[in-house]
């Protein structure tokens, strides 16, 4: 395929070699559980998710950065785009299969719970690939990302994230940038609501600049709302009202997954305000980085987060580990669980955050009452 490097010309990162096969495999697990006879096998995806979370720290990082002269070939390769596109029909097929099986009346309550959780994980992880597609310069790719967001009711993410988060990250203006001392259980629900509201504000302002009404059909947020609502109406029409709890579960897992990822990615890090009132340029210092291999495989290497923000258009297969960026102690699959236990999160992360502040690379980001006194004068509130 055009753009693919010839064998032996470079050392590829594991993600560049494996691409989206782990996500495709994850999608297949609810179907495999049914083929294996159901029962405990309807919990298969849950078991695999727990297993990969446990092994991630032991597998360790993949710190390969591609040579600059090889990046162009990797970036223009159609192969990486196709591997993302494949997830759209796969995700939709597994989602519809899950609705059919969940509402069919042949499952016990325990099997229904297992299928609900398993399909939420399998379908919800489509959000990681959708995030990648939403950043692509090609209109077709961006729409494929929106289609991946549709079954999990996250289409509005494409507007908030691209035009809100990436402009306001690591400032108090961004609901997706967590402050030092925040509890993820408070941050998550608040950020989900505020990110959606910001999406409406972004579109309203865009249309006002064009002399159009925010309530016109040109409002992207309107269509980003219509798509998942249409999905839900179709699922209820096909499978009855029992489809509603499955839709809600898919929504909650995906939204929660990306909200906790947001919490990890910028916790306590702020850009400094400039004398004229704006914010300093986004740098490596404003996002927590890591490259633990198993996490990278399931998150489309977005855990190389500093490079993602410093170079927004860089596709996932060539994202780099940035040596000057702050580093999470473990991969996302581990830190997701750490974040959900606030005392453990503070024990693991606060010494690391404060040590990075002491380096002067990033300003403290937090409310005065939550910050150690020695950081309050330099903090961004």
3-state SS track over 289-345: ECCEHHHHHHCCCCCCHHHHHHCCCCCHHHCCCCCCCCECCCCHHHHHHHHCCHHHH
Is the pLDDT at 41 greater than 70? The verdict is yes
State the Rg of the chain over Cα: 21
Q: Quick one: pLDDT at residue 332?
A: 97
pLDDT tier at 373, thresholds 50, 70, 90:
very high
Q: Quick one: pLDDT at residue 313?
A: 83
Inter-residue contact 118 to 29 (CB < 8 Å): yes
Q: Quick one: pLDDT at residue 276?
A: 87
Query: In this predicted model, what pLDDT tens digit does every residue of 257-287 receive, in sequence order?
Result: 999 999 999 999 999 999 888 999 999 999 9
Is the pLDDT at 3 greater than 80? The verdict is no
Look at the block and give the residue holding tokens 């040109």.
218
Is the pLDDT at 9 greater than 60? The verdict is no
Is the pLDDT at 8 greater than 70? The verdict is no
Q: What is the DSSP string of 35-99?
A: HTTSGGGGGHHHHHHHHHHHHHHHH-B------HHHHHHHHH-HHHHHHHHTHHHHHHHHHHHHH
Is the pLDDT at 356 greater than 70? The verdict is yes
Q: Quick one: pLDDT at residue 1?
A: 34
Query: In this predicted model, what pLDDT tens digit does every residue of 103-158 receive, in sequence order?
Result: 999 999 999 999 999 999 999 999 999 999 999 999 999 999 999 999 999 999 99
Detail the DSSP E strand segments found in 157-270. 269-270
Rounded (10°) CA dihedral 9, 12, 18, 22: 180
Domain boundaries, the chain: 14-378
Q: Quick one: pLDDT at residue 6?
A: 43
Query: In this predicted model, what pLDDT tens digit does every residue of 186-202 receive, in sequence order?
Result: 999 999 999 999 999 99
Is the pLDDT at 7 greater than 60? The verdict is no
Average pLDDT over residues 179-184: 96
CA–CA separation, 121 vs 127, rounded Å?
Answer: 10
Average pLDDT over residues 288-305: 96
What single-letter DSSP state applies at residue 286?
G
Average pLDDT over residues 174-185: 96
What single-letter DSSP state applies at residue 375?
G
Residue 182: both structure tokens together: 């925040």
Give percent of the chain with pLDDT exceeding 70. 97
Is the pLDDT at 39 greater than 50? The verdict is yes
Give helix 87-102 / helix 109-124 axis angle, nearest 10°. 170
Helix (H, G, I), strand (E, B) or coil at 365: strand
Inter-residue contact 272 to 286 (CB < 8 Å): no
CA–CA separation, 86 vs 91, rounded Å?
Answer: 9
Average pLDDT over residues 285-306: 96
CA–CA separation, 208 vs 321, rounded Å?
Answer: 40
Is the pLDDT at 163 greater than 70? The verdict is yes
Is the pLDDT at 4 greater than 70? The verdict is no
Give helix 109-124 / helix 126-134 axis angle, nearest 10°. 20
Q: Quick one: pLDDT at residue 10?
A: 60
Q: Quick one: pLDDT at residue 380?
A: 86
């Amino acid at each position: 395929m055009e753009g693919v490097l010839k064998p032996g010309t470079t050392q590829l990162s594991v993600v560049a070699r494996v691409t989206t096969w782990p996500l495709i495999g994850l999608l297949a697990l609810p179907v495999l559980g049914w083929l294996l006879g159901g029962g405990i096998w309807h919990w298969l995806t849950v078991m695999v998710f727990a297993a990969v979370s446990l092994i991630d720290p032991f597998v360790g990082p993949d710190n390969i950065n591609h040579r600059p002269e090889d990046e162009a070939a990797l970036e223009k390769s159609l192969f990486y785009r196709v591997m993302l596109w494949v997830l759209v029909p796969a995700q939709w097929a597994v989602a519809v299969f899950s609705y059919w099986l969940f509402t069919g009346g042949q499952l016990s309550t325990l099997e229904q719970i297992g299928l609900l959780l398993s399909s939420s994980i399998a379908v919800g992880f489509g959000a990681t690939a959708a995030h990648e597609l939403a950043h692509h310069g090609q209109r077709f790719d961006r729409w494929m990302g929106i289609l991946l967001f549709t079954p999990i009711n996250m289409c509005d993410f494409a507007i908030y994230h691209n035009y809100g988060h990436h402009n306001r990250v690591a400032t108090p203006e961004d609901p997706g940038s967590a402050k030092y001392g925040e509890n993820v259980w408070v941050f998550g629900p608040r950020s989900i609501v505020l990110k959606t509201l910001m999406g409406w504000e972004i579109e309203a302002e865009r249309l006002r600049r064009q002399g159009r009404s925010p309530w016109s059909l040109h409002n992207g947020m309107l269509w980003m709302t219509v798509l998942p609502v249409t999905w839900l109406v179709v699922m209820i029409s096909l499978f009855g009202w029992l489809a509603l709890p499955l839709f809600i579960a898919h929504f909650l897992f995906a939204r929660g997954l990306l909200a906790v990822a947001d919490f990890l990615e910028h916790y306590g890090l702020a850009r400094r305000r400039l004398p004229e009132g704006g914010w300093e340029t986004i740098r490596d210092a404003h996002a927590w980085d890591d490259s633990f291999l198993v996490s990278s495989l399931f998150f489309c290497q977005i855990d190389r987060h500093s490079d993602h923000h410093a170079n927004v258009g860089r596709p996932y297969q060539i994202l780099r580990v940035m040596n000057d960026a702050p580093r999470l102690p473990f991969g996302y699959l581990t830190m997701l669980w750490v974040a959900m236990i606030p005392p453990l999160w503070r024990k693991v992360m606060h010494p690391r955050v404060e040590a990075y502040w002491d380096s002067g690379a990033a300003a403290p980001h937090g409310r005065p009452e939550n910050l150690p006194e020695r950081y309050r004068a330099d903090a961004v509130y």
